[in-house]
């Protein structure tokens, strides 16, 4: 019963966002092309299991109770990619590739070696293509309407507040993995950012 109450409270806070921390050096929500979370660029053919991890840092160093983000696939005609939350996730709402998802844990996750696994990616090659980007971005409809929380974010372990912590800049790309890269791709394998004006234009394209 105690666990159920904690899950309910964590989820309610995830949606309402009681308080917030605003910084972009608070770890990263990272997409990888392998299950172990070590490769964020490389060739893919057939079917491959990738992964999504929360790399703890800054305000998330002590752990997280949830995350909110989306992943965009730059060429879904060539590679079908879907996300499945890790079995350790207690609540999973939405679709990471269709607007975004919210994940919540029943208790504070401090991870192993500073990393918490959020889920797996199932990557299926439909047609060969190069420089396909899987990009972590803010949820299309953030749980907190505050403009300063329009970011990929995590929830802290500060019961009962479960502070919402931006891990990306507001209205910005956050992380990119690259399938079949033809060369060096700027901003892969590390947190990245684009100017808010540029990201506004990108959002307009997706909404049309």
Render each residue's pLDDT in the chain as its tens digit; 208 residues: 434 433 433 444 444 443 444 444 899 999 999 999 999 999 999 999 999 999 999 999 999 999 999 999 999 999 999 999 999 999 999 999 999 999 999 999 999 999 999 999 999 999 999 999 999 999 999 998 899 999 999 999 998 999 999 999 888 899 999 999 987 665 556 677 654 444 444 444 444 3
pTM, rounded to two decimals: 0.82
What is the spatial distance between Cα 106 and Cα 7, in angstroms, rounded to a whole number?
A: 5
Q: Which residue has the tokens 């979370």?
A: 37
Residue 74 structure tokens: 């730059």
Q: State phi, psi for 115 to the nearest 5 degrees.
A: -135, 140
Composition of the chain by helix, strand, coil, percent to 5: 15, 40, 45
Predicted confidence (pLDDT) per residue in 14-73, tens digit: 444 434 444 448 999 999 999 999 999 999 999 999 999 999 999 999 999 999 999 999
| Predicted local distance difference test score (pLDDT) of residue 193 | 61
Whether 24 and 168 have beta carbons less than 8 Å apart is answered as yes
Whether 174 and 47 have beta carbons less than 8 Å apart is answered as no
Helical (H) or strand (E) element with 2:
helix 2-16
Q: Are strands 175-179 and 41-42 parallel, antiparallel or unpaired?
A: parallel
Q: Is the dihedral of CA 77, 81, 82, 83 positive or negative?
A: negative
Q: In terms of residues, how long is the chain?
A: 208
| Predicted local distance difference test score (pLDDT) of residue 89 | 98
């Amino acid at each position: 019963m105690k666990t159920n109450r904690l899950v309910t409270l964590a989820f309610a806070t995830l949606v309402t966002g009681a308080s917030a921390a605003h910084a972009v050096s608070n770890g990263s929500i990272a997409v990888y092309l392998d299950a172990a979370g070590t490769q964020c660029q490389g060739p893919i053919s057939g079917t491959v299991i990738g992964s999504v991890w929360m790399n703890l840092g800054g305000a998330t160093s002590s752990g997280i109770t949830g995350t909110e983000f989306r992943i965009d696939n730059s060429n879904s005609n060539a590679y079908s990619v879907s996300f499945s939350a890790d079995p350790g996730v207690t609540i999973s709402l939405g679709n990471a590739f269709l607007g975004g998802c919210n994940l919540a844990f029943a208790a504070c996750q401090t991870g192993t070696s500073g990393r918490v696994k959020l889920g797996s990616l199932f990557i299926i090659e439909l047609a060969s293509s190069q420089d396909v980007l899987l990009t972590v971005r803010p949820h299309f409809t953030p749980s907190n309407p505050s403009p300063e929380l329009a970011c990929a974010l995590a929830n802290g372990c500060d019961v009962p507040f479960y502070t919402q912590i931006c891990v990306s800049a507001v209205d910005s790309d956050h992380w990119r993995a690259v399938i079949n890269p033809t060369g060096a791709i700027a901003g892969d394998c590390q947190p990245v950012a684009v100017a808010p004006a540029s990201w506004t234009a990108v959002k307009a394209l997706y909404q049309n």
